[in-house]
Amino acid sequence: METQNWKELETPLSKSVLKTIEELKFPYMTPVQAASIPLLLKGKDVAAEAVTGSGKTIAFLVPLLEILQRRKEKWKPKEIGAIIISPTRELAIQISEVLQKFLNNISDLKQVLLVGGTTIVEDVDRLKAGANIVVATPGRLEDMLSNCKSINLAACVKFLEILILDEADRLLDLGFSASLNTILSYLPRLRRTGLFSATQTKELQQLIRAGLRNPALITVKEKPNISTPTNLKNNYTIVNAEYKLSIMIDFIQCKGINLKYMIFLSTCACVDYFSHIIQTMLPCVPIFAIHGKMKSKRYKVFNEFRRTKSGILICTDVMARGIDILEVNWVLQYDPPCSASSFVHRCGRTARIGNEGNALLFLLETEDAYVDFIKRNQKVDLQEIILEPSIISYEKCLKCMRDLQKQDRSLFDKANRAFVSYIQAYNKHECNLILRLKDIDLGKLAMGFGLLRMPRMPELKTRDISNFHGEDTDINSIKYLDKQREKSRLEKLTFFQNNGMWPKLQKRKHKQTEPWSEAKKKKLEKQENRKTRKEKKQKRKIDAQDIEDLAKDIALIKKLKKKKISEEEFDIAFGIDKKV
């Protein structure tokens, strides 16, 4: 599709929208914008699939604002004309920020953001102050529609003109199907609906059939056999498990610490642990950490990373979808993602809207089949980069990890939790046919985590861990820097040394018990009650059969009296043998 100027649209845009587009410095429409905007403006429902970073947000905001502005009647303060639903708080906030840039030039329309992190009372106050556009996450919007008595939001949405589901496939991946169905039940059917996503799934097809009327299906890819932007260079490297972290640190230092990096890890515990390690290894680099369990703190960290000119964001897949961060130079996938589609979304955090970007996937020696899998499953060609390990860097990295654990027991705990969570996540991997835990040398993997000793877990019972070399350190001597935690630990340790068990275990084991004779009596009573219930049940069955037989006998006697049957037939039916 050829590039198209905004002023070349068949239906001209308003001056206020064109002014904002000019301020945002988007001289031409991207393919998804050129394909979907005219259809939405003509009143069509649209289901659009486009590669990540292709400008989907502008693709639905422009027609949404045009539709609202073209209504003949002026919008009342509490009339909601548009709803945008997004899977995560960060993405909803990001959409709200872009929308506000348009609304700065449109004085007649107001928006409200409904996401977690604020109280219901605060949301109600903002809605009462007036809102024509709602940007929300599914859970909060469902709650406001169904459970909030202080404002009748269901009445406010009866004039809805357009509904947008952004990252619609992700909405379903995160289990929001029930919430979406509830929300749709409150909305008028005569509306326009737009679904925007980077991938199409079977669940998404079902949602399209349920929520859209004769939709126009749009699939925009830069090349038919590529699912990532053409200006994105996808690479991979094969590493040994114990050298992986040191190789990544060397790679960052080689490419330049003045760049912007995103590092994706498989679990929240790994983010907690490795963010401390990387911060110590690269003291001059701003390090940011985000994962799904951080909740309210998450957006503050995300915003700081967006504003910084250089730095490293260490995160889970919570940051893999829709998030627009300017000038991310490298996306480093420390582990293969749990799903194939997440691979594409992770890479898409760089090379946004025409910019160049790079992505590097770190694979263990046993994971090389993943390269071919991604090529077949996601149509992504990966180019190999050879990164040689440095023994000096590895030893420095290992010493750093172990020294930090010995200085603060909380880091020792985090290291063990990270290792355990990694093993458990790997076992549940979507690609467990090619990424098999039994193929990994868990001894070398533990060295890559810098563990002081191997944790106790079922997965290690029958495994060879001879390549793990722990330190001769008294684990009980490692202290928490937090004085309260250390005091509590010492109390438990003293109790253990005196009683042979930890307090919690002791409390559970020595809870108040009843005498043996009482326990025996209760057991016999239970058996007797069970026997009585069984007999009553059987008696009820017998009684029912007797009643049925009696009814049959009475019916036969009546037939005999009315001479409907002979005495001989009666005797045969009753089983009377007159020969006796």
Q: What is the pLDDT of residues 317-336, one digit of tens each?
A: 888 766 767 778 899 999 99
DSSP for residue 454 = P
**pTM flag (> 0.75):** no
Q: What pLDDT, on the 0 to 100 scale, is given for residue 508?
A: 47
Q: Where are the alpha helices (DSSP H) in 129-264?
A: 138-146, 153-156, 168-173, 177-186, 202-211, 244-255
Amino acid type, 475: I
Round the CA-based radius of gyration of the chain to a whole number and report it: 33
The predicted model gives 239-252 an average pLDDT of: 96
Closest CA to 255 of 285, 276, 288, 289: 285
Length of the chain in terms of residues written:
580
- The structure tokens 């040394």 sit at 497
Q: What is the pLDDT of residues 433-457, one digit of tens each?
A: 888 999 999 999 999 999 999 998 9
Distance CA 200, CA 202 (A): 7
Closest CA to 60 of 35, 87, 80: 35
Confidence of residue 310 (pLDDT cuts 50, 70, 90): very high
Q: Does the pLDDT at position 102 exceed 90?
A: yes
- The structure tokens 């939001």 sit at 153
Query: Out of 194-203, 467-476, 569-578, which region has the weakest mean confidence (pLDDT)?
Result: 569-578
The predicted model gives 30-42 an average pLDDT of: 91
Pairing type for strands 111-114 and 162-166 reads: unpaired
Q: What pLDDT, on the 0 to 100 scale, is given for residue 211?
A: 65
Confidence of residue 519 (pLDDT cuts 50, 70, 90): low
Distance CA 290, CA 280 (A): 18
Nearest 5°: the CA angle 17, 18, 22 is: 120
Q: What pLDDT, on the 0 to 100 scale, is given for residue 376?
A: 85
Confidence of residue 580 (pLDDT cuts 50, 70, 90): very low
Q: What is the pLDDT of residues 359-375, one digit of tens each?
A: 999 999 999 999 998 88
Q: What is the pLDDT of residues 50-72, one digit of tens each?
A: 776 678 899 999 999 999 999 98
Output 188 or 571, whichever has higher pLDDT.
Answer: 188
**Cα–Cα separations (whole angstroms), residue 470 to 67, 139, 414, 474, 555:** 66, 46, 17, 11, 89
Q: What pLDDT, on the 0 to 100 scale, is given for residue 83?
A: 97
Going by C-beta distance under 8 Å and a sequence separation of 6 or more, which residues neighbour residue 393? 246, 247, 249, 250
Q: What pLDDT, on the 0 to 100 scale, is given for residue 123?
A: 92
Q: Could you list the beta-strand ranges (E) of 375-467.
A: 383-384
Nearest 5°: the CA angle 476, 481, 487 is: 65
The predicted model gives 138-146 an average pLDDT of: 91
- Kindly tell me the sign of the dihedral angle through the C-alpha atoms of 316, 318, 321, 325: negative
Q: What pLDDT, on the 0 to 100 scale, is given for residue 173?
A: 64
Average model confidence (pLDDT) across the chain? 85
Q: What pLDDT, on the 0 to 100 scale, is given for residue 177?
A: 80
Element (H, E) at 136: strand 133-136
Distance CA 401, CA 397 (A): 6
Q: How many Cβ atoms from other residues are within 10 Å of residue 443's Cβ?
A: 18
Cβ-contact 298, 269 below 8 angstroms: no
Q: What pLDDT, on the 0 to 100 scale, is given for residue 514?
A: 53
Q: What pLDDT, on the 0 to 100 scale, is given for residue 429?
A: 83
Q: Does the pLDDT at position 511 exceed 50?
A: no
Distance CA 164, CA 48 (A): 11
Q: Could you list the beta-strand ranges (E) of 252-310.
A: 260-264, 287-290
Q: What pLDDT, on the 0 to 100 scale, is given for residue 509?
A: 46
Q: DSSP labels for 477-527?
A: G---SSHHHHHHHHHHHHHHHHHSS-HHHHHHHT-----HHHHHHHHHHHH
Distance CA 172, CA 199 (A): 12
Structure tokens at 329: 């130079």
Element (H, E) at 57: helix 56-69
Q: What pLDDT, on the 0 to 100 scale, is given for residue 532?
A: 80
Closest CA to 453 of 395, 424, 413: 413
**Cα–Cα separations (whole angstroms), residue 376 to 379, 382, 470, 561:** 6, 11, 41, 86
Question: Where does residue 19 rank: exposed (0-12), middle (13-18), buried (19+ CB within 10 A)?
Answer: middle
Q: What pLDDT, on the 0 to 100 scale, is given for residue 551?
A: 72
**Cα–Cα separations (whole angstroms), residue 215 to 64, 185, 207, 382, 475:** 16, 19, 11, 35, 63
Element (H, E) at 538: helix 516-561
